Structure 1
């Protein structure tokens, strides 16, 4: 399964290498790659060991990354843990990351809200004192061209039929509240706007019954035929081909928007309006001026956190009437920012 954290790791290492050639290398850890001897040699040749969590296939490969951190600790290397999420993870996954939090000298996080979630943990809250914030960039850069697909033609036909295409991009899992968008779609359908909800991504397989509950809720709301789930889309050109047909993106996040939402940054590059719940913390973007600018320029439209679904439906109807917001996106600059923040911890 494609892993956004894995993609982040690759792009981070490539960016660090671009600005400081020869300063870093990667060690791939899977069920078949990365023996304990290889981990020992790699950690022994390094000054710092950096690991990214969470991992999609955590039940199958969690031992090897933890072993790498433990070996680095035994060899007295600096341990840097990059922790993207906390409370949004299932409690079983959080348990498996406890050794990493304990071994880490520095914990890099991307959101003040996630940092507070860790600080509020009754068992591990003290480890938040080791946390530093870094600005998260998007994993995907808008390509120069787009790629056609059967799904894109289906969306084109839907638009020709007067459908309102509402997009949701990225892996589908509980903390992104995919079912809340279903309820907004049902409201828009009652208003006669003929919505088609387009989820560009796939469900995360885990202990939760996310996919089953999602489709059950769509049937309950009477919009099962107004929902499309693309599944994993491998090509960036195909992703942005689908984006080109979307009218508006919407993320009614219960926790509010946070600075760790890479999928939102990918959507913004399409030039389509994006509606999302406002942040829970006023300082959420103080460490991330580029993200803050997207909000101030209107590329990201905030709805007050805690608003009902009618408010989102109203905002969708409103933004469709406004002209598009042209906004240049310095993809390399975003990645340089995070690479410098991580390099400062090495």
Structure 2
């Protein structure tokens, strides 16, 4: 006689030692669903050396659903094992719930590695109508978009009670004392975020005598793109080499928000416009500094995400019309010097409860 699975959901992950946004999101999502129904979830660590086919077979058999935030870690490191787990889940008639954060912004080689996971999924959870439409418009796998459901994305990082000092924070504080305009940009640096576009805006501010210092709190994504090389080449062309700082990996949330405390304003000139999947935007908002970003491409981008919409409506996120010249962004940043710092309450747990309920609704 076949016994009932012990868990409602098995989460695929790469273990707590893997420091990446994808893995962190998976752990927080599992914890949030566990709060709704304690004891309902289990996890399976998949690395190059952990989880044999037999281990995966047993783990998949212990749950009714397999949840995979693909890729579970940096895309080149662990690809085969998650796909094997999803294939075994289908073979064992377990429901596969795939979490997919982006599509059109991915390099074409990455999209190829994602396609098997999309095919194996019963349901695909996405966070942005724009990303869903990008998948639907794909000439090869566009039909898969009919599997998609939307969920509200929360931020990965919660503003801590205190902040930590660092050499970079001291440098930013000194720059402010010298009358420099500190502009922030948080998160991994890759082509989809148009990091070079902010450089052009910085050059305009420099021409106007505002002495900008642009701080990118994050690091370049290692991949097939030459984003880091082109970034510094462009900074040199604009005579901004001494006006740009890239922090690299920052180990603690306290240190991250320590850096945020010295920022006058954040700016994201995005070619695709603001989407509901921009977790980095939600992290920055918690600092209470003005955040200036390109408006969304779709009018319904935030219809499924009332908390995100509320941030826009009350002015915590300032939208710049799509197609605006760089001068418009520069003017908004300059005016931000006159805006007060607003530390509104941010219901971090509530944001995560929303996404947990949305994902849980897809489980059998």
> In which range does the TM-score fall when normalised by the shorter chain?
over 0.9
Mapped contact 1:81–1:107 kept (Cα < 8 A): yes
Which whole-Å CA distance do the structure 1 matches of 2:301 and 2:273 have between them? 10
Which whole-Å CA distance do the structure 2 matches of 1:56 and 1:203 have between them? 16
Which whole-Å CA distance do the structure 1 matches of 2:263 and 2:343 have between them? 16
TM-superposition CA deviations, 1:126-154 (whole Å, max 9, x none): 11001000000000000000011111111
Matches within 5 A, 1:32-71: 32-71=49-88
Mapped contact 1:146–1:237 kept (Cα < 8 A): yes
TM-superposition CA deviations, 1:286-308 (whole Å, max 9, x none): 00000000000000000001211
Shift in Å, 1:322: 2.3
Matches within 5 A, 1:6-21: 6-21=23-38
Shift in Å, 1:56: 4.7
Whether 1:110 aligns to 2:127 is yes
Q: Among residues 61, 74, 90, which one is paired with 2:91 in the alignment?
A: 74
Please name the residue that 1:177 is paired with.
Answer: 194
Matches within 5 A, 1:240-251: 240-251=257-268
Shift in Å, 1:34: 1.9
Mapped contact 2:215–2:244 kept (Cα < 8 A): yes
Shift in Å, 1:38: 1.2
Please name the residue that 1:327 is paired with.
Answer: 344
Matched residue SS, 1:270: coil
Which whole-Å CA distance do the structure 2 matches of 1:316 and 1:179 have between them? 17
Which whole-Å CA distance do the structure 2 matches of 1:201 and 1:326 have between them? 23
Which whole-Å CA distance do the structure 2 matches of 1:104 and 1:329 have between them? 33
Which whole-Å CA distance do the structure 1 matches of 2:201 and 2:31 have between them? 40
Matches within 5 A, 1:60-139: 60-139=77-156
Please name the residue that 1:232 is paired with.
Answer: 249
Q: Among residues 200, 204, 222, which one is paired with 1:187 in the alignment?
A: 204
Mapped contact 1:257–1:279 kept (Cα < 8 A): yes
Please name the residue that 1:265 is paired with.
Answer: 282
Matches within 5 A, 1:247-326: 247-326=264-343
Please name the residue that 2:9 is paired with.
Answer: none
Mapped contact 1:43–1:49 kept (Cα < 8 A): yes
> How many residues are matched?
346
Which whole-Å CA distance do the structure 2 matches of 1:61 and 1:267 have between them? 30
Which whole-Å CA distance do the structure 1 matches of 2:77 and 2:253 have between them? 28
Shift in Å, 1:32: 1.6
Shift in Å, 1:337: 0.1
| Gapped regions of structure 2 (runs ≥ 5) | 1-17
Which whole-Å CA distance do the structure 1 matches of 2:311 and 2:278 have between them? 13
Mapped contact 2:185–2:216 kept (Cα < 8 A): yes
Mapped contact 2:124–2:149 kept (Cα < 8 A): yes
Which whole-Å CA distance do the structure 2 matches of 1:144 and 1:78 have between them? 40
Which whole-Å CA distance do the structure 2 matches of 1:322 and 1:271 have between them? 10
Which whole-Å CA distance do the structure 2 matches of 1:270 and 1:162 have between them? 21
Which whole-Å CA distance do the structure 2 matches of 1:28 and 1:250 have between them? 37
Please name the residue that 2:184 is paired with.
Answer: 167
Q: Tell me the TM-score normalised to structure 1 length.
A: 0.98
| Gapped regions of structure 1 (runs ≥ 5) | none
Matched residue SS, 1:26: strand
Mapped contact 1:298–1:325 kept (Cα < 8 A): no
Once the two structures are overlaid, the 10-residue window that deviates more, 215-224 or 322-331, is 322-331
Shift in Å, 1:25: 1.1
Matched residue SS, 2:41: coil
